[in-house]
Structure 1
Amino acid sequence: MDITLLASLAVIHIVALMSPGPDFAIVVKMATQQTRLTAVYCALGIAAAILVHTLLSLLGISVMIQQSPVAYIVVQLVGSGYLAWMGFGALTSAFKALKLKRQPATVMTSPVDNVAQMSSVKGFKIGLYTNLLNPKALIFFITLFTVLITPQVSFTTKTAAAILLFSLSFIWFGLLALVLSKPRIQQKLLAANTIIDLLVGIIFIAVAVTITSNIASNIMGQWLA
């Protein structure tokens, strides 16, 4: 087993996990607005998606998708569409909350009362789809494994790498979910729910627009070439 290689993977992956993005944003949203169990399951869903990306990269399937222009464009469009839809939902929730705040105090409701509570299964699915359908995650793992995981790497090291990346992902997002879902912290962040929804919506839509713009630029470049 190549410990040096695994250590390099771990460091790079930890840095990527801590970087702001759709995964981080959705866990913060879940942890501050849903139950602790739902937030933890969301973290588990993200980790499961990362495991899928890892396996697809190790098996060479991700590279095959990237090398097929049509398949790669379809994957990116589906992913950006999902992220845009999630972002639109977050923004809609934020605008509804802002509208309620403008109502007379006698009819105002708590922000928590305006957030539909999700089941743990739905939380898992949202976490899974958020990472799995993010084309940037696909590109990240293709690049990571192309550079570090060569054909000479042993099966044992590849297996350890898959387990390591899954474990690190669940530990990081799971801890984030546990900390932010503490009743005292949720209560403090209650007034910030609208801001959280706005930020989540902006992040998701920004990523979706970036992906779509890149697709359009690539297609235009091919036509003009």
Structure 2
Amino acid sequence: MPALEQFLLIAMVHFLAVASPGPDFALILKQSIRYNRRIAIYTSFGIAAGIIVHVTYSLVGIGLLIASDERLFTALKYIAASYFCYIAWHCLRAKKPDNDLSGSVSKDVNDSTVSSGGAAKFETAIKTPSAKSAFLNGFLINALNVKATLFFVSLFSVVIAPETLLSIKIAYGAYLVAATGAWFCFLSYMLTQDRVRYVLQRKGYILDRVMGIILLLLAIQLVLSDLQ
């Protein structure tokens, strides 16, 4: 398969994978609802950095080893399930915002400086994590994602031909990292638009809890798949 066709196939498969709801999306949604654009974007950078891990072990063949070694793969699944439960716990604890906060946001929603005062009060009502913490959360949620492991192992062993030059494989990997970061930064930007954020700050706790349930179900699925 020519390099261009191979790249287009990789880009398409990757977009379908990264755009589908999953742990990464759940975390970005949580960060956007609970904190602000800056924290969500740092989390997006962390998710992109997690892709570097998957690309690296796929290039050197460790991914195949992990996928073929039952003990290593089981250990990774339990670690991932534990971290998913940790994130899910925080999502499920999301509370409905105070009426005065939502009212303050509602008052300014039609102004040109929509919800600036209300948003500031909302953000100070909770403790905002550091950029380093946000980055680490994004990195761990992606790097520990077993489905991402299987995706990249399949991608580099099936879609990308074995005879493909290493330099081209590295270029593919760089694209996957950049595309992932760009996608989640775009989501972070859209989800923290003033009007969108106004709705999320009032009703986002419901989405937060739903995403918590989804992450919990993913964790249970990982554990049950090991018992079957």
TM-score, length-scaled by structure 2? 0.84
Given the alignment of the two structures, is residue 9 of structure 1 paired with residue 10 of structure 2, yes or no? yes
- SS for the counterpart of 2:63 is helix
> CA offset at residue 32 of structure 1?
2.3
Paired position in structure 1 for 2:197 = 186
1:59 lines up with 2:70 in the alignment = no
Offset, 1:69:
1.4
Query: What is the deviation of 1:179?
Result: 1.5
Match of 2:175 among 143, 148, 164: 164
For the 8 Å contact 1:38–1:121, the answer to whether it is kept is no
Aligned-partner Cα distance in 2 for 1:181–1:40: 10
Cα offset for 1:86? 1.0
> Which residue matches 1:126?
137
Aligned runs of 1:100-111 on 2, under 5 Å? Answer: none
Distance (whole Å) between structure 1 residues aligned to residue 146 and residue 51 of structure 2: 12
Distance 2:37 2:96 in 1: 25
Residue 80 of structure 1 deviates from its aligned partner by 0.8
Q: 1:42-66: CA deviations, max 9, x gaps? A: 1111111112101111111111112
Amino acid at match of 1:78: I
- Are the counterparts in 2 of residues 111 and 191 from structure 1 also a CA contact under 8 Å? no
Equivalent AA in structure 1 for residue 70 of structure 2: P
- The code of the aligned residue for 2:16 comes to V
Mapped to 1, the partners of 2:156 and 2:187 lie a distance apart of 26
Cα offset, 1:112, TM superposition: 4.8
**Superposed displacement of residue 91, structure 1:** 0.7
Q: How many positions carry a matched residue from both structures?
A: 208
Aligned to 1:35: 36
Preserved contact between residue 29 and residue 208 of structure 2 (Cα < 8 Å): no
Computed over aligned residues only, the root mean square deviation of the Cα atoms, in angstroms, reads: 2.1
- Aligned partners of 2:203 and 2:20: how far apart in 1? 21
Please state how far the C-alpha of 1:26 moved relative to its aligned partner: 0.9
Unaligned 5+ segments in structure 2 are 100-120
Decide whether the 8 Å contact of 2:97 with 2:202 is kept in 1. no
Task: Name the residue aligned to 1:143.
Answer: 154
Would the aligned equivalents of 1:180 and 1:186 in 2 still touch at CA under 8 Å?
Answer: yes
| TM superposition outliers: structure 1 runs of 4+ over 6 Å | none
After alignment, is 189-198 or 200-209 more displaced? 189-198
Residue 100 of structure 1: how far off its partner (Å): 7.1
Matched to 2:208, the amino acid is D
Q: Percent identity?
A: 29
Aligned to 1:104: none
Q: Does 1:215 align with 2:226?
A: yes
